[in-house]
Amino acid sequence: MDITVFGSGYVGLVTAACFADAGNTVVCVDVDARRVETLSRGEVPFYEPGLDQMVRANFQQGRLRFTTDAAEGVSHGLFQFIAVGTPPGEDGSADLKYVLQVADTIGSLVTDYRVVVTKSTVPVGTADKVREALLAALQRRGESVEIDVVSNPEFLKEGAAISDFTKPDRIVIGTDNPRTAELMRALYAPFNHNHDRIVVMDVRSSELTKYAANAMLATRISFMNELANVAEKVGADIEKVRIGIGSDPRIGYHFIYPGCGYGGSCFPKDVKALVHTASESGHAAALLAAVEDVNQRQKRVLFENIRKHFGGDLKGRTVALWGLAFKPNTDDMREASSRVLMEALWESGASVRAFDPVAMHETRKIYGERADLALCDNAEAACEGADVLAIVTEWKQFRSPNFERLKKLLKQPTIFDGRNLYDPQLLRRQGFAYYSIGRAPVGV
Ligand code: UDX
């Protein structure tokens, strides 16, 4: 089938590459000429396991091409995916400027029947706005072309994007038109394995489903972080509590890991946007607002522990930092807890020696060269001459460090662990002071 994808960001590129890999012919349109050029060289401008090989292979075999030419895109695909960014506005609402620009472009150029699919995470009611923008553009031209608008939210996780796309838990299709549902069903057939994973529903329910999924997951995390703080105060161990509750199949073990807060491009933005949508509809979403507040507070827990450890004075101190990305297997630093920690440390006069297996380049892009940030070649190098060590991302390679060497490298053998990677008693025996999340500090 012929498919056009507007937007070659995270969701757009994964969508385009996976559809091309399934044998479709895909044109990916982006307004950013440099990005189009980079992609046409087979280079993916962000880190996602397996994606660059997939882009290169399909590009070379002629099933995937990149262009800035919207007319080429509109004339190519029966399916026109909108996968451009929806950045948060000042008030937390999702900014639909780019989505509606694409709708306007399609409406200005379209000559034959098209299925326009909103893939970006967009607030309830966006499909209607997209339809209005398409019709307004058609009217300007005095044309009438049949177009269907479908909501088809994307649930992929960074770091596992390809397998999430090609082996999805569910494929949500929001449309009131049975014929469009059938077209979408045929399009997704290669990814609809074992049992039928396609869920067809009305457009608004589909749009809300995406926010509901992310808000539910974010709520689980904030719930655990809230409890972690209680556990610490009452002398309980949140890791024991986690196992105790996870064994109930109604709760389950997934997404109940306490930590130093959630980040990334989805949870923070989507929870805020849902709070905004709710309030616009006349409902104050108290629970969701609390989920966000708890998360912001949680991102400061490591800093507060470090500050207290040094009696409130961090001037001239150096903190080694392991992990910069918002989670392992990505170089994405959006809303990463590491940023809150580093910025608070710098503000207090401390400096940072950081290491992340893939996010160093991204960090340099955000913060540039600065005297109070050293980007180190490996995890041990980050500890050299640092006072203490803080951990914010649970990369596998941080799980079994050589503690004897760390003790020699750090001025004080002290670890502030935002992801509960180690057994506190083991660290105490090794001679460390160890602060973690929702467990009493040991060795302090
Ligand atoms: C998320 C959703 O999982 C995905 O379905 C949606 O399409 C986009 O948003 P992603 O942002 O890539 O995906 O990351 P995810 O793996 O969900 O992690 C989000 C954040 O939550 C990370 O900062 C992670 O460290 C944190 N987290 C996750 C916890 O703190 N505890 C947990 O138990 C799980």
Structure tokens at 260: 């130093």
* Adjacent-strand bridge partners of 213: none
Exposed, middle or buried: residue 194 (CB in 10 Å: 0-12, 13-18, 19+)? Answer: exposed
Answer yes or no: do 420 and 347 share one domain: yes
156 is in an annotated binding site: yes
Asked if the structure places residue 223 within a domain, the reply is no
Mutating to test ligand 1, I would choose from 120, 171, 266 the residue with most ligand atoms within 8 A of its C-beta, which is 266
Q: Are residues 28 and 168 in the same domain?
A: yes
304 part of a folded domain: yes
Q: 19 among the known binding-site residues? A: no
pTM of full prediction above 0.90: yes
Measured from the CA of 154, which atom of ligand 1 is nearest? 7
Residue 255 among known ligand-binding residues: yes
Annotated catalytic, 266?
A: yes
In this structure, the answer to whether residues 195 and 272 fall within a common structural domain is no
User: Is 208 domain-assigned?
Assistant: no
262 Cα nearest atom in ligand 1:
23
Q: Does the Cβ of 326 fall within 6 Å of ligand 1?
A: yes
- pLDDT for 121: 87
The closest residue, in CA terms, to atom 20 on ligand 1 is: 262
CB 69 within 8 Å of CB 51: no
**263 CB within 6 A, ligand 1:** yes
| Residue 88 confidence class, pLDDT cut points 50, 70, 90 | confident
Say yes or no to pLDDT of 247 above 90. Answer: yes
Residue 178 predicted with pLDDT over 90: yes
Domain co-membership, 430 together with 302: yes
Q: What is the mean pLDDT of the chain?
A: 96
Q: Quote the tokens at residue 70.
A: 């919207």
DSSP states along 325-376: SSSTT----TT-HHHHHHHHHHHTT-EEEEE-SS-HHHHHHHH-S-TTEEE-
Structural domain contains residue 22: yes
pLDDT beyond 90 at 91? no
Task: Give domain status of residue 382, yes or no.
Answer: yes
Average pLDDT of the segment spanning 53-73: 97
Rounded to an integer, what distance in angstroms lies between the CA atom of residue 320 and that of residue 23? 47
For 36-98, where are the E strands, in sequence order? 64-67, 79-82
For ligand 1, is residue 365 a contact (CB within 6 Å)?
no
In terms of domains, do 115 and 184 share one? yes
217 CA distance to ligand 1 centroid (A)?
Answer: 8
Asked whether residue 350 carries a pLDDT value surpassing 90, the answer given is yes
Residue whose CA is at the smallest distance from ligand 1 atom 13: 157
Ligand 1 closest atom vs CA 259: 30
Last residue of a domain, one of 164, 179, 201: 201
* 300 and 416 together in one domain: yes
Residue 256 CB–ligand 1 contact under 6 Å:
yes
Tell me: do 193 and 330 sit in the same domain: no
Among the candidates 152, 170, 201, a domain finishes at 201
Average pLDDT over residues 12-29: 98
ipTM for this prediction:
0.93
Q: Does any ligand 1 atom lie closer than 6 A to the CB of residue 155?
A: yes
Residue 93 binned pLDDT confidence (cut-offs 50, 70, 90): confident
Q: What is the mean pLDDT of residues 389-396?
A: 98
CA dihedral 47→207→203→284, nearest 10 degrees, is -170
First to last CA, the chain: 63
Q: What's the domain range around 146?
A: 2-201
**Does 272 share its domain with 177?**
no
Q: How confident is the model at residue 92 (pLDDT cuts 50, 70, 90)?
A: confident
Q: How far apart are CA 397 and CA 329, in angstroms?
A: 11
> Could you tell me the distance, in angstroms and rounded to a whole number, from the CA of residue 316 to the centre of ligand 1?
34
The CB of 262 under 6 Å from ligand 1? The reply is: yes
> Mean pLDDT throughout 194-222?
97
- Indicate the pLDDT class of residue 193, thresholds 50, 70 and 90: confident
Residue identifier of the C-alpha nearest atom 10 of ligand 1: 157
Give the tokens for residue 8.
């070659």
Q: What pLDDT sits at residue 421?
A: 98
- Domain membership of residue 248 (yes or no) is no
The sheet with strand 79-82 has its strands ordered as 64-67, 25-29, 2-6, 79-82, 114-118, 147-151, 171-174, 198-201
Q: Which of 18, 266, 376, 383 is catalytic?
A: 266
Instruction: Clarify whether residues 407 and 279 are in a common domain.
Output: yes
Q: Which residues contact 254 (CB under 8 A, 6 or more apart)?
A: none
Q: Assess if residue 412 is contained within a domain.
A: yes
pLDDT (tens digit per residue) in 292-318: 999 999 999 999 999 999 999 999 999
Token code pair at residue 290: 């609390």
Residues 180 and 266 in one domain: no
Same domain, 292 and 188: no
27 bridge partner residues: 4, 65
End residue of a domain, out of 166, 201, 236: 201
Check: CB of residue 360 under 8 Å from CB of residue 391: no
Instruction: Of 49-53, 87-91, 365-369, give the lowest mean pLDDT range.
Output: 87-91
Q: Does 263 appear as a known binding residue?
A: yes
Task: Judge whether 101 lies within some domain.
Answer: yes
Nearest atom in ligand 1 to the alpha carbon of residue 394 is 25
The total domain count for the chain is: 2
What percentage of residues in the chain have a pLDDT greater than 70? Answer: 100
Q: What percent of the chain has pLDDT over 90?
A: 96
Residues 163 and 159: their CA atoms lie apart, in Å, by 9
- CATH number of the domain to which 307 belongs: 3.40.50.720
Among 10, 156, 257, 262, name the best residue to mutate to test ligand 1's pocket (greatest count of ligand atoms within 8 A of Cβ): 262
- Position 176 scores a pLDDT of 94
Q: Which pLDDT score, from 0 to 100, does residue 194 have?
A: 87
194 and 293, same structural domain?
no
